[in-house]
């Protein structure tokens, strides 16, 4: 880890005045890049199929509104649409979520957070892009700070088109995603690990090295 | 077969049954919440699917030894409670490992899991966890005071620390229950029960809308799955403890399920209709009326 | 009323242009070197104690930026916009953050989005609205081609076509022609 050797130890002052030094490598950064699962692209066996069924029937969404589509998610919780009956829940922390919803346009600053949130989710994890902005930039296609296509920065399992898609379209998208997962094709995290260099290159082209560690678990 | 091995096997069977009852009650509760909100609600078996899914996710972060032990402590406290509570009165098999003086051990187990969880969550270094732990411990401790007073009142009344004996005193009719012989202690305990069930109005610690989800912010994958395995066990164990102490125990499985469900619904109904207290509000609540009621219940014993 | 204020201002500073927009809104233009002094005078002596905004307009063809300090007199309910023309190449202006601390934010924004520097102002050069890793030119300058920048940087998806809405609806509603 040549590039990390300059990092200084962070000193934290405890409430009782004691000074604690924190090792920079154990602080924010992880030196291990992700590895794909073994045989992830083979036809899944019975056990894996069962697990995939459970994963598809229990989609926990990271409730992080990255764009205007965050508004479309609220109706899904309400009596009219009630996505809970399809096993969909909202979790407030990336650690407990397995579906990251990119709800519309991604500005450069949001992309930085989204990449870190994605890397912190436990795999197998899925990404769903909402609206035309994630596909080709939508109405912000010539903007100076909105990225144009999401799949250059993280693997996307499903897109839901529209500007913005209606909540019904979102439910249809969940249905589509469930089919993909049950067929054993929800291998985004493994693809990310496999093509890690390419994804990182794309991310760093825009985000630079600022606050973007090699891999944040 | 060696009697102790038989006993262990039956204890495992008990834990399994309790866990299933808890899971179904969990799903049922969320269905009730949904119906009150005029939603269709989750499928009743959704908690099982969530559990399987959580077990089949990766666990990827190492935060230190205590981080691993936190969920284990939590599970131990739930399972430990089940093992030492006589579930079915008069049944050799389902009395488990209850012995004279077990009530003290059970009170200890009730708090033990929370402490383990607090240590584990603090190890993550996540500030939300730390705030959640501080809030959770403050609230649980506040609820524990009236609870212990109510239990103490029952112990003094029966001159016994054994739950089996307390249950046996209550046999022989509806009017023999502690509910009638010591109503003040029962009322106190019912209020303290709400506080320990982590349901509204006392669920600010674990509420997702609060600082993200409180102590288990960093827990994921099978750590989270262990935590959510424990939750139904712990809730039902606590419920059956209260049934034993105040409502005459249970003599068969039908009675067990009926009484446990009814008491469980007490926290569900309260949770459905009351909004959430902040931590300071709930501490103030517990240290006012329930505390005085608990002290009164001990004082009143002198005049009975 | 506003005329009197402008006349008193004229005695102190050379005013190059004045526009009486409304009864309670006036724009005056002063030279760059008198800019901040004129703002300070209006604040201290004429009761324009509230800074509404500080903004810039890019006059690309004339090679100049126009800064507008919009000031408000809360008692008399008057507004005055003090305009300053500065050179587009050097793009430098005295800071006014000693008059209102809030000016710092406006100056930081102008510094970032227009590339106008305010020597001595706090937080100059620190990223504020743009991302920390922003490498391109200041994006609010009119000679900055956002479309070109976006195409070079953000991996555009090929196959994007444009349909004129009027033509499209005409074709759809009257296929045989009007």
pLDDT single digits (tens) B143-176: 999 999 999 999 999 888 888 888 888 888 888 8
Residue A90 lies in a domain: yes
Asked if A161 is an interface residue toward chain C (Cβ–Cβ < 8 A), one would say: no
Closest chain B residue to A49, measured at CA: B56
**pLDDT (0 to 100) of residue A1:** 46
Query: C14-30 burial, b for 16+ CB within 10 Å, e for fewer?
Result: ebeebeeeeeeebbbbb
Question: Which one-letter DSSP state was computed for residue A146?
Answer: B
Query: A61-87: per-residue pLDDT in tens?
Result: 988 888 888 888 888 988 999 999 999
Question: Any CB–CB contact under 8 A between C142 and chain A?
Answer: no
3-state secondary structure of C53: strand
Nearest partner of A125 among A203, A62, A195, judged by Cα: A62
pLDDT exceeds cutoff 70 at A217: no
What CATH number is associated with residue A188? 3.40.50.12280
Average pLDDT over residues A144-159: 91
pLDDT of A25 > 80? The answer is: no
Q: Is residue A30 part of a domain?
A: no
CA atoms within 13 A on the CB side of B277: 19
Whether residue B63 contacts residue B125, with contact meaning beta carbons closer than 8 Å, is answered with yes
Which residues in chain A have their CB less than 8 angstroms from residue B39's CB? 78-79, 82, 84-85
- Contact: A54, B40; criterion CB under 8 Å: no
Give the chain A residue nearest C137 (alpha carbons): A144
Write down all domains in chain C, each with its CATH number in brackets.
Answer: 1-155 (3.30.460.80)
pLDDT grade for A199, boundaries at 50, 70 and 90: very high
CB contact under 8 A, B49 and A87: yes
Q: Given phi > 0 = left and psi -120 to 50 = alpha, else beta, which region is B277?
A: beta
How far, in Å, CA of A179 to CA of A185, rounded? Answer: 9
Of A50, A92, A217, the CB nearest to B208: A92
Please give the structure tokens belonging to residue B120.
């584990």
- Record the pTM: 0.86
pLDDT greater than 80 at residue B97 = no
Range of the structural domain that residue A148 is part of: 60-205
Q: Does C146 touch chain A (CB under 8 A)?
A: yes
Does residue A98 sit within a domain?
A: yes
pLDDT digits (tens, 9 = 90+) for C8-51: 999 999 999 999 998 889 999 999 999 999 999 999 999 999 99
User: With 0-12 CB in 10 A as exposed, 13-18 as middle and 19+ as buried, what is B181?
Assistant: middle
How do residues A90-114 score in pLDDT, each as one tens digit? Answer: 888 888 899 999 988 999 889 988 9
Q: How does pLDDT run across C54-101, given as a tens digit for each residue?
A: 999 999 999 999 999 999 999 999 999 999 999 999 999 999 999 999
User: Mean pLDDT across chain B, nearest whole number?
Assistant: 87
Nearest alpha-carbon partner for B201 in B272, B283, B129, B260: B272
Best of A46, A47, A84, A121 to substitute, by most chain B Cβ atoms within 10 angstroms, is: A84
Structure token digits, residue C114: 């227009």
Q: Is residue A117 part of a domain?
A: yes
Q: Does A54 touch chain B (CB under 8 A)?
A: yes
Given this model, what pLDDT does residue A137 score?
A: 86
Domain presence at residue A1: no
Is A7's pLDDT higher than 60? yes
pLDDT at B271 over 80: yes
Chain B contact present for A55, CB below 8 A:
yes
Residue of B nearest to A47 (CA): B56
Q: Cα angle at B278 between B275 and B284, to 5 degrees?
A: 110
Q: How many domains does chain A have?
A: 1
- As to burial, measured by CB atoms within 10 angstroms (0-12 exposed, 13-18 middle, 19+ buried), residue B297 is buried
For chains A and C, having 3+ Cβ pairs within 8 Å is answered yes
Q: What was the pLDDT predicted at A209? A: 76
- pLDDT value, residue A19: 81
For A148, the closest of C135, C146, C154 (CB atoms) is C154
Rounded to a whole number of angstroms, the distance from the CA of B33 to the nearest CA of chain A is 12
- pLDDT over 70, % of chain C: 99
Exposure string over A43-60, b if 16+ CB within 10 A, otherwise e: ebeeebeebbbbbbbbbb
* A206 contacts C154? CB cut-off 8 A: yes
Which residues from chain B sit within 8 angstroms of residue A57, using beta carbons? 46, 49, 53
CB of A116 less than 8 A from some CB of C: no
In a domain, A51, yes or no: no
B40, B208, B209 ranked by CB distance to A85: nearest: B40
Cβ-contact C55, C17 below 8 angstroms: no
pLDDT digits 0-9 by tens, B48-77: 999 999 999 887 777 778 888 888 888 988
Domain ranges of chain B: 3-301
Which among C133, C153, C154 is the nearest to A208, CB-wise? C133
């Amino acid at each position: 880890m040549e590039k990390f050797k300059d990092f200084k130890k962070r000193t934290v002052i405890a409430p009782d005045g004691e000074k604690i030094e924190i090792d920079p490598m154990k602080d924010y950064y992880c030196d291990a890049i992700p590895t794909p699962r073994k045989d992830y692209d083979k036809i899944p066996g019975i056990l894996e199929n069962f697990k995939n069924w459970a994963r598809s029937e229990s989609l926990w969404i990271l409730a992080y509104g990255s764009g205007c589509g965050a508004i479309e998610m609220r109706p899904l919780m309400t009596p009219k649409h009630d996505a809970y009956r399809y096993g969909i829940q909202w979790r407030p922390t990336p650690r407990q979520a397995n579906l990251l919803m990119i709800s519309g346009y991604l500005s450069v600053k949001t992309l930085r957070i989204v990449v870190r949130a994605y890397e912190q989710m436990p795999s197998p994890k899925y990404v769903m892009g909402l609206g035309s902005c994630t596909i080709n930039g939508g109405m912000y296609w010539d903007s100076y700070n909105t990225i144009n296509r999401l799949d250059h920065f993280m693997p996307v399992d499903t897109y839901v088109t529209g500007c913005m898609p209606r909540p019904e379209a979102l439910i249809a998208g969940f249905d589509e995603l469930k089919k993909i997962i049950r067929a054993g094709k929800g291998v985004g995290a493994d693809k990310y690990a496999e093509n890690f260099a390419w994804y990182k290159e794309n991310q760093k082209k825009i985000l630079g090295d600022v606050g973007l560690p090699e891999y944040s678990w | 077969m060696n009697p102790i091995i038989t006993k262990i096997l039956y204890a495992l069977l008990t834990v399994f049954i309790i866990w299933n009852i808890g899971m179904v009650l969990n799903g049922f509760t969320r269905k009730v919440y949904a119906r009150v909100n005029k939603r269709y609600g989750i499928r009743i078996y959704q908690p099982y699917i969530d559990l399987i899914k959580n077990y089949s996710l990766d666990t990827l972060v190492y935060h230190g030894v205590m981080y691993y032990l936190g969920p284990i402590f939590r599970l131990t406290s739930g399972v430990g409670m089940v093992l030492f509570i006589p579930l079915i009165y008069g049944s050799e098999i389902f009395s488990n490992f209850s012995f004279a003086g077990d009530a003290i051990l059970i009170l200890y187990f009730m708090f033990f899991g929370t402490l383990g969880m607090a240590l584990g969550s603090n190890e993550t270094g996540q500030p939300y966890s730390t705030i959640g732990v501080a809030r959770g411990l403050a609230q649980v401790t506040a609820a524990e005071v009236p609870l212990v007073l109510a239990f103490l009142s029952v112990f003094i009344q029966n001159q016994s620390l054994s739950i089996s004996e307390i249950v046996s005193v209550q046999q022989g009719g509806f009017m023999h229950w502690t509910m009638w012989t010591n109503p003040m202690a029962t009322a106190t305990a019912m209020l303290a029960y709400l506080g320990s069930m982590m349901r509204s109005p006392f669920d600010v610690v674990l509420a997702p809308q609060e600082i993200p989800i409180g102590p288990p912010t960093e827990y994921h994958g099978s750590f989270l799955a262990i935590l959510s395995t424990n939750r139904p066990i712990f809730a039902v164990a606590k419920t059956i403890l209260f049934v034993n102490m105040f409502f005459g125990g249970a003599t068969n499985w039908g009675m067990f399920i009926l009484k446990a469900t009814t008491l469980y619904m007490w926290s569900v109904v309260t949770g459905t209709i009351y909004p959430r207290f902040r931590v300071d509000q709930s501490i103030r609540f517990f240290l006012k009326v329930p505390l005085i009621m608990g002290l009164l219940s001990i004082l009143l014993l002198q005049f009975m | 009323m506003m005329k009197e204020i402008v006349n008193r201002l004229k005695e102190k500073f050379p005013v190059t242009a004045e526009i009486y927009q409304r009864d309670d809104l006036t724009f005056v233009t002063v030279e760059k070197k008198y800019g901040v002094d004129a703002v300070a005078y209006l604040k201290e002596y004429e009761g324009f104690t509230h800074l509404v905004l500080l903004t810039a307009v890019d006059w690309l063809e004339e090679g100049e930026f126009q800064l507008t300090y919009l000031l408000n007199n809360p008692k008399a309910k008057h507004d005055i916009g003090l305009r300053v023309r500065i050179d587009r190449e050097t793009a430098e202006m005295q800071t006014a953050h000693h008059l209102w601390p809030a000016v710092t934010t406006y100056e930081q924004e102008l510094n970032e989005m227009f590339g106008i520097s305010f020597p001595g102002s706090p937080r100059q050069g620190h990223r504020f609205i743009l991302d920390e890793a922003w490498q391109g030119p200041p994006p609010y300058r009119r000679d900055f081609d956002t479309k070109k920048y976006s195409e070079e940087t953000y991996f555009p998806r090929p196959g994007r076509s444009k349909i004129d809405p009027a033509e499209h609806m005409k074709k759809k509603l009257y296929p045989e022609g009007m």
